[in-house]
Amino acid sequence: MDDQAKSMMDKLGLDARLLGMIGALVVIWLVFGFFTDWRFLSPRNFFNVSVQTASVAVMATGMVFVIVTRNIDLSVGSLLGFIGMTVAALQVQWLPSMLGLGHPMIWVIAVIAAVLMGAVLGAMQGWVIGYLTVPAFIVTLGGFLVYRGAMWWVTKGQTQAPLDPVFRLLGGGAEGTLGETLSWVFGTIAALVAVGIMLLSRRRKSTHGFTVKPMWAEGILMAMAAGLIIAFVWIMNSYPIPRGAMRRMTEARGIEYNDGMVWNHGVAIPVVILLAVTIVMTIIATRTRFGRYVYATGGNPEAASLSGIDTRLLTVKVFALMGALTGIASIIASARLNAVDVGLGTLDELRVIAAAVIGGTALSGGAGTIYGAVIGALIMQSLQSGMASVGVDAPLQNIVVGFVLVLAVWIDIVYRRRAGV
């Protein structure tokens, strides 16, 4: 029986670590579902968890590259707060006085500023690490303190609110979703794209003479991928919008409201952003020269340097990418809250590193996947949301998350030792 299961696993080509993470996620959902009379498994909770996961998961995809190259970035939480506070001040104080309150370009300028700020500040840290050879731990620890202090300095500690109405849509909420119809269109296109990518990958392997899975095994994987996407959209489309929010939305759209109307949320915009980032980062990691250089440098920095890879410039690029992704995450986090105070991003650096490590990124460098980091972030957020649902105090939540992180690293070490990787 075990041999048959192993044979089936080999034919499907499934990663044992991936199955382990999915299994752990399902167990967490079922355990917290049992202790909350299954409220934890409601469409409402899945919607909230998906939105809350987005900002950490976006940064975790960049942290994979940082850790793969044998570095660490302790500054991402403070950098997120600094960027969020600066961009909020742009929308609340500076741009309205220059362009006029409610100008349509305010949210566009804010988004561009967030991404550029992150990329430039990340590149500066990467330059110090790569060219001045200061250890990444020290540089980013300094950044952690500098950005947290600068965040207060921008507005003298004053909370910035409310943000631009269009900018707020990027953080989710009742109005920050695709709606039912667009969500189905989005899910159908995403499922077709997933199937198309798998078919193209199979064709490419076959063309270059590599062994490919049996067609029936490929069909099962395609059906699983498409089914999971459609199931996710169905769950998001099952969460009704509260009456108060629906009255506000119908009034804004010039539609007459009545008590018989039922609108559902659909897929939140932060989740769409996360999916786009995941696809782009996966392509960078697996289909570009830059991605191959990142993994080659992490596997053996000396050999990579001797083979002609400019590892110092590569470090600058990796940290610039990490900074840009932190800028995107700051947009999601600040838009979701519709306000920015000096506490934004606190401890996010630890959540991001934990998500990447739980997702299978090796702290010794050279190994890690983008999808693993996203699942790791989902596990972290599910754990925290579940503990909050059953009334666990915040300090105890941090203790549990700390134990889970150590346990995940130990399991990963044992797995790699037995697998010989």
Q: How many domains does the chain have?
A: 1
Residue owning tokens 């696809």:
279
| Residue 26 domain-assigned (yes or no) | no
C-alpha separations of 313 from 126, 129, 308 in Å? 8, 10, 12
pLDDT at 239: 93
In angstroms, the CA 350 to CA 74 distance is: 8
pLDDT at 51: 95
User: How many CA atoms, within 13 angstroms, populate the side-chain half-sphere of residue 254?
Assistant: 0
| Residue 21 domain-assigned (yes or no) | no
In angstroms, the CA 244 to CA 222 distance is: 40
Say whether pLDDT at 3 is over 90.
no
pLDDT digit string (tens) for 50-108?
Answer: 999 999 999 999 999 999 999 999 999 999 999 999 999 999 999 999 998 889 999 99
The CATH number given to whatever domain includes residue 308 is 1.10.3470
Say whether pLDDT at 409 is over 90.
no
pLDDT at 210: 80
| Residue 164 domain-assigned (yes or no) | yes
Say whether pLDDT at 320 is over 80.
yes
pLDDT at 69: 95
Residue owning tokens 């590259």:
65
Let me know: does 82 contact 89? Beta carbons within 8 Å. Answer: no
pLDDT digit string (tens) for 223-236?
Answer: 988 999 999 999 99
**Which among 318, 323, 312, 302 is positioned nearest to 133, based on CA atoms?**
312
Q: How confident is the model at residue 243 (pLDDT cuts 50, 70, 90)?
A: confident
pLDDT digit string (tens) for 358-400?
Answer: 888 988 888 899 999 999 999 999 999 999 999 888 888 888 8
Let me know: does 171 contact 336? Beta carbons within 8 Å. Answer: yes
| Residue 25 domain-assigned (yes or no) | no
| Residue 54 domain-assigned (yes or no) | yes
DSSP label of 364: T
C-alpha separations of 380 from 11, 40, 42, 52, 65 in Å? 31, 15, 18, 11, 20
Handedness of CA 171, 172, 173, 174 (dihedral sign): positive
Q: What is the pTM of this model?
A: 0.92
| Residue 369 domain-assigned (yes or no) | yes
Q: How confident is the model at residue 238 (pLDDT cuts 50, 70, 90)?
A: very high
Q: What is the residue type of 273?
A: I
3-state secondary structure of 240: strand
pLDDT digit string (tens) for 125-144?
Answer: 999 999 999 999 999 999 99
**What is the share, in percent, of the chain residues with pLDDT greater than 70?**
96
Structural domain containing residue 120 = 43-174+268-390
In angstroms, the CA 301 to CA 415 distance is: 24
Q: How confident is the model at residue 407 (pLDDT cuts 50, 70, 90)?
A: confident
pLDDT at 416: 75
Q: How confident is the model at residue 217 (pLDDT cuts 50, 70, 90)?
A: confident
Say whether pLDDT at 1 is over 60.
no
| Residue 50 domain-assigned (yes or no) | yes
Name residues whose C-beta falls within 8 Å of residue 373's C-beta, 6 or more positions apart in sequence. 57, 60, 61, 63, 64, 355, 356, 359, 361
Average pLDDT along the chain:
90
pLDDT at 258: 84
| Residue 192 domain-assigned (yes or no) | no
Q: How confident is the model at residue 2 (pLDDT cuts 50, 70, 90)?
A: low
Tokens of 37: 């009379």
Say whether pLDDT at 14 is over 60.
yes
Residue owning tokens 């409601």:
42
